[in-house]
């Protein structure tokens, strides 16, 4: 048995997972935490990671590195996604992470992100969910992955995410009808690329992972304390998502921050995430989605353990 930590540095959130893992690929969660640092703040506008956003993220990485040390982790696996893929100054950020936090971040492609996320989702939901369309709604990109009979059969990565949509369209508090329509139009133009590019299995269920769907599940379940095990497998109908969207759109930011189940730091981007979720259901003709708390962090771990087994 070994103790590992996986870190996922996203456009909006940095996530840490510490586990005790056996050689057969099974593992037990020892500790997990996530912090919203908004690494991709204003990236769409400037093309670079801002000094403030990098500083926030480096501080969290330093704390996560210390947490890993306190838990006697033998190996840290760390990846970063959309924001680092796109930023002109990503080398500066990677150098700082290595120098100041002692963490070697690997910038992964959209394809690798989709594949690892699918591994994590499949593990979280179990063998009863063998055929899925997995949607990973991130801060800077959204990945669509076809998963059939235990393997990835195709993927599409779109450069739309909750931070980008919020910064580009939803500036009012609460957003105006015109702003919501502008965001909806942008989403539809992007999602229309999915069916021609991806062969969605006929029997597939829609599974959504990352901060937006897990938060919507937490709100729906009235969670005062987040519980990933309860969230995983929770189903949200298209009707319920529309009800949540209508409610969220009626509230100013200060009131959204008070909603049970909604992390206050996510209150500004939950509108765009919920809107994106509804449009995915509509445009891809699904009546409901299943939520998975497991995703990239877990997939990264599983891939690493499988690689170790194959080389032993």
Instruction: Name the domain count of the chain.
Output: 2
- Same domain, yes or no, for 78 and 148? no
- Whether 148 and 291 map to the same domain: the answer is yes
Domain shared by 54 and 132, yes or no: no
Give pTM, 2 decimals: 0.90
Tens of pLDDT, residue by residue, the chain (312 residues):
799 999 999 999 999 999 999 878 789 999 999 999 999 999 988 999 999 999 999 999 999 999 999 999 999 999 999 889 999 999 999 999 999 999 999 999 988 988 999 999 999 998 777 789 999 998 888 999 999 888 889 999 898 999 999 999 999 999 999 999 999 999 999 998 887 888 888 888 999 998 899 999 999 999 999 999 999 999 999 999 999 999 999 999 999 999 999 999 999 999 999 999 999 999 999 999 999 999 999 999 999 888 877 776
The residue among 41, 75, 107 that closes a domain is 107
Q: Residue 22: its pLDDT value, please? A: 87
Same domain, 186 and 45: no
Residue 139 lies in a domain: yes
- On whether both 284 and 181 belong to a single domain, the answer is yes
The torsion region of residue 49 among left (phi > 0), alpha (psi -120 to 50) and beta comes to beta
Same domain, 90 and 208: no
Q: Report the CATH number that the domain containing residue 262 is assigned in CATH.
A: 3.30.420.150
Q: What's the pLDDT score for residue 309?
A: 74
Q: H or E stretch including 241?
A: helix 238-249
Phi-psi region of 126 (alpha: psi -120 to 50; beta: other; left: phi over 0): left
- CA–CA distance, 59 with 36 (Å, rounded to integer): 12
Query: What is the distance between the terminal CA atoms of the chain, rounded to a whole angstrom?
Result: 14
- Characterize 17-27 residue by residue with b for buried, 16 or more Cβ atoms within 10 angstroms of its Cβ, and e for exposed: bbbebeeeeeb
Confidence at residue 188, expressed as pLDDT on a 0 to 100 scale: 95
CA atoms of 276 and 270, how far apart (whole Å): 10
Residue 139 domain boundaries: 126-296
Domain boundary among 46, 73, 107: 107
Q: How would you classify residue 241: left for phi > 0, otherwise alpha for psi between -120 and 50, otherwise beta?
A: alpha
Residue 17 located in a structural domain: yes
User: What per-residue confidence (pLDDT) applies to 300?
Assistant: 95
Q: Are residues 97 and 158 in the same domain?
A: no
Buried b or exposed e, range 197-207, using 16+ CB within 10 angstroms? ebebbeebbbb
Residues 42 and 89 in one domain: yes
CATH number at residue 44: 3.30.420.40
Same domain, 32 and 86: yes
Determine the pLDDT at residue 150. 80
Together in a domain, 89 and 134:
no
| Distance separating alpha carbons of residues 166 and 210, to the nearest angstrom | 17
* 168 vs 206: CA distance, rounded Å: 27
- Whether 40 is covered by a domain: the verdict is yes
138 falls within a domain: yes
């Amino acid at each position: 048995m070994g103790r590992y930590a996986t870190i996922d540095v996203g456009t909006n959130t940095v996530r840490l997972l510490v586990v005790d893992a056996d050689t057969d690929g099974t593992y037990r969660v020892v500790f997990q935490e996530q912090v919203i640092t908004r690494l991709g703040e204003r990236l769409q506008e400037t093309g670079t990671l801002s000094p403030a956003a990098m500083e926030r993220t480096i501080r969290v990485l330093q704390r996560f590195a210390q947490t890993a040390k306190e838990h006697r982790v033998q190996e840290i696996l760390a990846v970063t996604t959309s924001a680092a893929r796109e930023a002109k100054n990503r080398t500066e950020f990677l150098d700082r992470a290595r120098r100041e936090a002692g963490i070697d971040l690997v910038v992964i492609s959209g394809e690798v992100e989709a594949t690892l996320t699918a591994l994590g989702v499949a593990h979280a939901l179990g063998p009863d969910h063998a055929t899925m369309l997995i949607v990973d709604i991130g801060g800077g990109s959204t990945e669509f992955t076809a998963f059939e009979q235990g393997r990835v059969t195709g993927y599409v990565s779109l450069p739309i995410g909750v931070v980008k949509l919020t910064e580009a369209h939803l500036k009012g508090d609460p957003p105006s009808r015109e702003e919501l329509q502008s965001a909806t139009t942008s989403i539809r133009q992007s999602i229309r690329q999915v069916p021609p590019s991806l062969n969605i299995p006929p029997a597939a269920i829609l599974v959504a992972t990352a901060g937006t769907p897990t938060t919507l599940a937490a709100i729906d379940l009235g969670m005062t304390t987040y519980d990933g095990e309860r969230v995983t497998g929770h189903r949200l109908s298209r009707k319920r998502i529309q009800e949540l969207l209508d409610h969220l759109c009626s509230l100013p930011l200060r009131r959204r921050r008070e909603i049970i189940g909604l992390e206050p730091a996510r209150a500004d981007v939950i509108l765009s995430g919920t809107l994106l979720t509804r449009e995915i259901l509509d445009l891809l003709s699904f009546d409901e989605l299943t939520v998975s708390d497991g995703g990239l962090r877990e997939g990264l771990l599983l891939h690493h353990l499988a690689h170790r087994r194959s080389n032993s």
